[in-house]
Amino acid sequence: MGKALIIGAGGVGRVVAHKCAQNPDVFEEIIIASRTLSKCDELKKELDGGKTKVHTAQVDADKTEEVINLINRFRPDIVINVALPYQDLSIMEACLATKTDYVDTANYEPPEVPKFEYKWQWAYKEKFEKAGITALLGSGFDPGVTGVFTAYAQKHYFDEIHYIDILDANAGDHGYPFATNFNPEINIREITAPGSYWEGGKWIETKPLEIKRTFNFPEIGYMDIYLLHHEEIESLAKNIKNVKRIRFWMTFSQKYLTHLQVLQNVGMTSIEPIEFEGKMIQPLQFLKAVLPDPATLGPRTKGKTNIGCIFRGIKDGKPRNYYVYNVCDHQECYKEVGAQAVSYTAGVPAMIGAMMVLTGKWKKPGVFNVEEFDPDPFMDALNKNGLPWKEDFSPEIFN
């Protein structure tokens, strides 16, 4: 049916490529492109022999011209951007220049002012409309599936949704006392940044990790959850009428927080270089070198993730609660695509988002978040592509 250019060959890119290749009727050809060609070639080797034709290319996605050249060379129907969030705008510009549909999983943030906001990408709405192309923003799990869950709840179960709690649990255990999947700097920023939630039509800011609850996650059990700012709150607040409050919660173990706190206390997470034996060294860079290589975590991570949403609202004048969630197993993901659940849960929805656009189900000119489309075909595709969801009409409710 179509041709997709996947930009990014990290964990998420790997999942997207595998999942596209599992749907060769939709993805007849894929081009895997990243800064490091060898990673793309490695993926191609794994996928060659299937029905989907696989190409690879080297690209620096910071440079719009390079992306334009790549698009002109391969003429994809859609670009699946799973590179760095910093690169969203340069890739969107290339899509505009070549009139190519676009999908990503995380919203743009300027490298200097880390702030998760859609404003930079929403500003492209008119340009995409005029160009007659679709940009689908934030089609990962959260944001992404959480927005689809919301649209699904709105369509089938509620007249009005008043409260949304998004709950993201990772009970994965890599067996190390401490390791990070990704840049510890981002981990640290996450837990040291103020939290915020949407209530009564405005943002309410909290101190870092100020609000904590305990939640009994299906198939996992009790875990501590902390209120964080998260980008889908912004789009849901705009797109869900009559919503009174939207909160996002993420699990952190006490052990994880303690390790991060101590490393910060002693200065090991600082990016301020210190002089060491005549050389300037960033403590954070040295810490990264001491910590386990993130690439070694995948095969050894055991346990599950559980991401979902609890909705409370009104249907036919009566109060209603609804919890919809997906449970994903790290080891099973790794067996299937060579990446663990954190990458898997982001990569599968990126593929599905592209599938929605390619098949015309979610194809319309402009810049959109996932909750603005009919959720049914996406929900159906989740069940068929490794992220089945479950419903609970009397979930645990917390305030």
| CB nearer to its own copies: pick between 157 and 178 | 178
**380, burial (CB in 10 Å: exposed 0-12, middle 13-18, buried 19+):** exposed
We find the least distance from the C-beta atom of residue 255 to its own copies, in angstroms, to be 9
Could you count the other beta carbons within 10 Å of the beta carbon of residue 154?
20
- Distance (Å, whole) CA 53 – CA 290: 40
- Distance (Å, whole) CA 183 – CA 185: 5
We find the least distance from the C-beta atom of residue 178 to its own copies, in angstroms, to be 5
| CB nearer to its own copies: pick between 93 and 185 | 185
Site for its own copies in 177-196 (CB under 8 A): 177-178
Look at strands 202-206 and 195-199 and give their pairing. antiparallel
Q: Which of 43, 12, 110, 66 is nearest to 350 (CA)?
A: 12
Site for its own copies in 236-275 (CB under 8 A): 258-259, 262-263, 265-268, 270, 274-275
We find the least distance from the C-beta atom of residue 260 to its own copies, in angstroms, to be 9
Is residue 173 a contact residue for its own copies (CB under 8 A)?
no
| CB nearer to its own copies: pick between 112 and 275 | 275
We find the least distance from the C-beta atom of residue 191 to its own copies, in angstroms, to be 15
Site for its own copies in 279-298 (CB under 8 A): 279, 281, 283, 285-287, 289-291
Is residue 123 a contact residue for its own copies (CB under 8 A)?
no
Q: In the stretch 203-242, what mask flags binding to its own copies with x, by CB under 8 A?
A: ----------------------------------------
We find the least distance from the C-beta atom of residue 270 to its own copies, in angstroms, to be 8
Query: Do you know the residue count of the chain?
Result: 399
Written as one letter, the residue type at 59 is V
Report phi then psi at 39, rounded to 5. Answer: -65, -40
Could you count the other beta carbons within 10 Å of the beta carbon of residue 335?
10
Is residue 57 a contact residue for its own copies (CB under 8 A)?
no
| CB nearer to its own copies: pick between 180 and 340 | 180
- Distance (Å, whole) CA 105 – CA 140: 4
Give the total of residues touching its own copies (CB under 8 A).
24
| CB nearer to its own copies: pick between 57 and 287 | 287
We find the least distance from the C-beta atom of residue 283 to its own copies, in angstroms, to be 5
| CB nearer to its own copies: pick between 57 and 291 | 291
Instruction: Please spell the DSSP secondary structure of 118-162, one letter per residue.
Output: SHHHHTTHHHHHHHT-EEEE--BTTTBHHHHHHHHHHHHT-SEEE
Tokens representing residue 17 in the block: 């490529």
| CB nearer to its own copies: pick between 66 and 185 | 185
- Distance (Å, whole) CA 246 – CA 203: 10
Tokens representing residue 60 in the block: 């620096």
Residue 61 near residue 91, CB atoms below 8 Å:
yes
| CB nearer to its own copies: pick between 77 and 185 | 185
Contacts with its own copies by CB under 8 A lie at 177-178, 258-259, 262-263, 265-268, 270, 274-277, 279, 281, 283, 285-287, 289-291
